[in-house]
Copies of this chain bind each other. A is one copy, B any other.
Amino acid sequence: MNLTKALLTLMTLTSLTACTTIPDASNHAGLLVIQEQGSFAVGGKVVSTPGTYDNNHPTAAGQTLHGDHLYAFYQVPQNSRPLPIVMLHGAYQSARSWETTSDGREGFQTIFLRRGFPVYLVDQPRRGRAGNSTVEAKIEPTPFDQLFFDQFRLGKWPSYFDNVQFDRKPETLDQFFRSVTPNTGPYDAGVISNAMAALFDRTGPGILFSHSQAGGPGWLAAIKSQNVKGIVALEPGSGFIFPEGELPPAMPSAAGALSPESVSLAEFKKLTRIPIVIYYGDNFPTEPTTERGQDNWRVRLAMAKRWVDAINKHGGDAQLVHLPEIGIRGNTHFLMSDLNNVQIADLVSRFLAEKHLD
């Protein structure tokens, strides 16, 4: 009897401490058990300069340059789920977007590792550690902090929105601003989506999380690779593609006009094979306004609704969740690192479960 009890106790302990992720209410203190981690480059091209290389008096002649690849860092937890998640950052950002939040909590990288997914974080071609570009660029230190504060919907500089899901300590804002990193070559959605398709060739079937500007290259990657089995798009901001002849009109805003982009119907229909969910946060104006930072998002939300309708009209499975409509308030443009990012991750987990992607 005692032995049975000991056995049962031990079995309980084993199931608690065996090398799987140990759940923790705070989503922070549990141990993380990694089966494998590492990094690599994928995609890109090689540019050659004509001539003969002289080892001892080297010039460009006869030399090559490897560029336009992406960089990925991956971690596979023990007893992982079958489909990895690939996370692609937005404009002015790197894989840093998905790591520790500006106020020091775990971001989506570690949250979804804890939930058993292999996680791949990408620095897109011509950004971050994938900085080698085949096309030149000039980097001018551009003071954009206040514009970002407005455009990423922390508030209207220098005031935060009353309900903002962003920690107000000065050091948090400092970290937020320091997550910005420039393009090292011209932004090119084709180059990025080519590299992303090459990444999915390597990972096999997986799920794509995109943020902001990555929305567009994300759709293109799913067109280019059948291994993209689902997309979670956080506040897509550009590259809304429609079938030729079905483009909605451009949408003017205080931040400029947002124009849809055109692809063939055959390409567009590839996006109808997979489940897609789009999330947008709070503090969107309902009517046109002169507030530039917010009005920028009014038209993106409106365009995304048209986009979801187009996907579904063609037999697809897309949905748009505007968080305030389900009672979740105060989210900035960075849903994955907002104060309620675990709640957002829960929504995403539910979507993945419903679509049998987990």
B106 touching A146 by the CB < 8 A rule?
no
Convert A126-162 into 0s and 1s, putting 1 for each residue whose CB lies closer than 8 angstroms to a CB of B: 0111111111111111111111001000001100000
A75 to B124, CA, bound (A): 23
A184 touching B131 by the CB < 8 A rule?
yes
Binding site for B on A (CB under 8 A): 3-4, 6-7, 10-11, 13-14, 17-19, 22, 31-35, 37-41, 44, 47-49, 53, 55-58, 60, 62-67, 69, 71, 73, 78, 94-96, 99-100, 104, 106, 110, 123, 127-147, 150, 156-157, 174-175, 177-182, 184-185, 254, 290-293
Known contacts A34-B34, A129-B129, A292-B56; A100 and B64 CB within 8 A of each other:
no
19 contacts between A and B (CB under 8 A): A10-B14, A19-B33, A31-B78, A33-B33, A38-B104, A40-B175, A56-B254, A56-B292, A60-B142, A71-B178, A95-B129, A123-B128, A127-B131, A129-B181, A131-B181, A133-B139, A133-B141, A138-B139, A182-B184
Copies of this chain held together in the complex: 2
B41 touching A31 by the CB < 8 A rule?
no
B32 touching A31 by the CB < 8 A rule?
no
A33 to B30, CA, bound (A): 10
Residues of B within 8 A of A141 (CB): 47, 65, 67, 132-136, 185
A19 to B291, CA, bound (A): 52
A175 to B71, CA, bound (A): 10
Residues of B within 8 A of A132 (CB): 141, 178, 180-182
